[in-house]
Amino acid sequence: MNKQDMIIRIATVQDAKALLDIYSPYVEHTAISFEYDVPSEQEFAERIRHTLLKYPYLVAETGGEIVGYAYAGSFKEREAYDWAVETSIYVKMDKKRMGIGSRLHEALEHILKEQNLLNLNACIACPEEDDEYLTKDSILFHEKLGYRFVGKFRLCGYKFNRWYHMVWMEKHIGLHKTNPPAPKTFHEVLERIKVRYGIF
C-alpha cells in the first residue's frame, strides 16, 4: 500500500458498517476491546454521531477502501478535565504495520491542538504475558507516538476466561498555562483544519 495514496477524512454515520467491520474482530477475537458483544450498526452510527458533536472522528481510506479509524472522546465529564481527551485507534486486521495508525494519530493530534486540548490519554488492555488474544503491541505503538506510561490497574478486565490488566498512557501536546484558552468544539475548527491539514 502506498502511503501517498491514503486520504484522511472525517467520518460520517454512513461509514458505520465499514467501521464496524473493522472493529468487530477486535471484539470477537481479541482482548484489545473489553466489549463482549459487537454493537449493532445503529448503535455504532450513534457513537459516531455523538463523538462528532464535540470531537474529531477520522477514517483512513486508500483505493476507496476504509482501512482504519481514530477518534477522541471525553476523558472525564467534570469541567476541570475539559483540556483532556481519551484517544482510540483501530486499523483493519490485514492492514496493520503499514503506517495507517500513525497517520491517523498525526491528523487527530493536529485537530486536537487546534481545539486547544492539551492531554491525550489512552486506555490500553495489557496482558501479564502475550497470548493469542492480547499482546503489548498497542503499548509499544503508543510509546512510538510519544505517550508515556502513567499507571496500571491490575487484573481489572475479564475476557476469554482470563484476567487482563489495563494501563493508562498519556501525551501532552501543549503548554499547561494559567488561564488556558477555552477548548473549542470540533466544528469550530473544522474549516481551518480542512485548509491547513488537508483533512476533508
70-106 pLDDT per residue, tens = 999 999 999 999 999 999 999 999 999 999 999 999 9
CATH H-level superfamily of 3-197:
Gcn5-related N-acetyltransferase (GNAT) (3.40.630.30)
Query: Are β-strands 84-91 and 119-126 bridged in parallel, bridged antiparallel, or unpaired?
Result: parallel
- pLDDT of residue 191 exceeding 90, the answer is no
CA distance 41 to 163: 29
Asked if residues 50 and 3 have their Cβ atoms less than 8 Å apart, the reply is no
Specify the pTM: 0.94
- pLDDT of residue 128 exceeding 70, the answer is yes
Asked if residues 193 and 115 have their Cβ atoms less than 8 Å apart, the reply is no
- Average pLDDT estimate for 5-16: 95
Write out pLDDT tens, residues 132-179.
Answer: 999 999 999 999 999 999 999 999 999 999 999 999 999 999 999 999
- pLDDT-derived band of residue 1, with 50, 70 and 90 as boundaries? low
Mean pLDDT of the chain: 95
CA distance 119 to 168: 12
Q: In this predicted structure, what is the pLDDT of residue 199?
A: 72
Q: In this predicted structure, what is the pLDDT of residue 181?
A: 96
- pLDDT of residue 2 exceeding 90, the answer is no
